[in-house]
Amino acid sequence: MNSNDLKEKILQLKKEKNAVIVAHNYQVDDVQEVADVIGDSLALSQYCAENDKDIIVFCGVHFMAESAKILSPDKTVLLPEIDAGCPMADMVTADALRKEKEKHPGAVVVCYINSSAEVKAESDICCTSSNAVKVVKSIKEKDILFVPDQNLGSYVAKMVPEKNIILWNGYCITHHKVSMSEVKEVREIHPDALLLVHPECQKEIAEAADFVGSTKQIIDYAKQSESSKFIIGTEMGVLYQLKKDNPDKTFYLLSKGLICPNMKKTSLKSVYDALNEMKYEINLDEGIRLKAKESLDRMLQIS
């Protein structure tokens, strides 16, 4: 089947099965095209919880489909590529977190949404890259154990200096490798472009940027900005939405390396197979789900 045939079949199956397709901003363009909605992991999970469809095809990585299941326990959540994981999320396990918590008994545990349901269940409150600063500011205690992203954690520590942030040594393999030499090089080539970067990039990269934000914040920033040229320091999939929203503006990718191999595993064929064969279903232990949901709910209450 060519891609047009696949797209047609996907839309047909989606209707027959009363399903919804959601795609993360980092998915390949073809997959974003067949999705009912495109967004960040939290917005997609909330969208899934609010609509009346029976089946959710979550085009993203494992922890994202889990978050959708946490908020929509009665729906069937399918992850088209079962091996699409997030290496950063895998850098903290519930066991390792329990051990670290013993070393910091008074600390409040904040987990980035890029974490497993078990880790969310072991945490006090969740955060996203959009609301991490707000979440940490809302906490009364001074000591915060922040997992798993050391770069987002460092960014928050800088923005909320009154807190003592204990960092975990996790990082995103895609954003962490962006280098200062790439920043210098691309700035030289496009001196009149604004540099917008994700807080998963290392501290010096964030410090060199004109704006630091989540995918949604970068997309919103580019849309309202009077500038017409932007260097984008996050996964290349966001270029789809940026170009769609701003046909008269120009976008350059900060680094050729800004491709998440796990996000790129999902293709039109995998979306078709997911719907056709009802795979791969994401299920959670109910005890874990409820505890993880408490962490998400605490975040939603303050943001």
- The residue among 107 and 127 lying less far from ligand CIZ, judged by its C-beta, is 127
Give the range of 5-13, 255-263, 274-282, 292-300 binding ligand SF4 by CB under 6 A.
Answer: 255-263
| Cis amide leading into 161 (omega within 30) | no
Phi-psi map region of 111: left, alpha, beta (phi>0 left; psi -120 to 50 alpha): beta
Our finding on whether 118 is near ligand CIZ (CB under 6 A) is no
Q: Which of ligand CIZ, ligand SF4, none has residue 262 at its interface (CB below 5 to 8 Å by kind)?
A: ligand SF4
Residue 17-56 contact track with ligand CIZ, rule CB under 6 A, x = bound: -------x---------------xxx--------------
Min CB(209)–ligand CIZ separation in Å: 14
DSSP states along 280-303? -B----HHHHHHHHHHHHHHHHH-
Our finding on whether 113 is near ligand CIZ (CB under 6 A) is yes
Long-range CB pairs of 76-80 (<8 Å, 24+ gap) are 76/278, 76/281, 77/48, 77/281, 77/282, 78/274, 78/275, 78/278, 78/279, 78/280, 78/281, 78/282, 79/274, 79/280, 79/282, 80/266, 80/270, 80/271, 80/273, 80/274, 80/279, 80/280
State which amino acid sits at residue 18.
N
Q: Which of ligand CIZ, ligand SF4, none has residue 40 at its interface (CB below 5 to 8 Å by kind)?
A: ligand CIZ
Q: Which of ligand CIZ, ligand SF4, none has residue 174 at its interface (CB below 5 to 8 Å by kind)?
A: ligand SF4
Min CB(36)–ligand CIZ separation in Å: 17
Our finding on whether 150 is near ligand SF4 (CB under 6 A) is no
Residue 22-61 contact track with ligand SF4, rule CB under 6 A, x = bound: ----x----------------------------------x
Q: Which of ligand CIZ, ligand SF4, none has residue 214 at its interface (CB below 5 to 8 Å by kind)?
A: ligand CIZ
Single residue of 260, 268, 271, 275 touching ligand SF4 by CB under 6 A: 260
Our finding on whether 114 is near ligand CIZ (CB under 6 A) is yes
Question: Which are the contacts of 71, defined by CB distance < 8 A and separation ≥ 6?
Answer: 45, 46, 48, 49, 293, 296
Strands of the sheet with 229-233, listed across from one edge: 211-212, 194-197, 229-233, 250-253
State which amino acid sits at residue 263.
M
Residue 197's Cβ-count burial label (10 Å; 0-12, 13-18, 19+) is buried
Find the binding residues for ligand SF4 in span 55-114 (CB under 6 A): 61, 86-88, 114
Pairing relationship of beta strands 76-78 and 143-147 according to DSSP bridges:
unpaired
The binding site for ligand SF4 (CB under 6 A) comprises 26, 61, 86-88, 114, 172-175, 200, 235, 260, 262-263
The binding site for ligand CIZ (CB under 6 A) comprises 24, 40-42, 113-114, 128-129, 198, 214-216
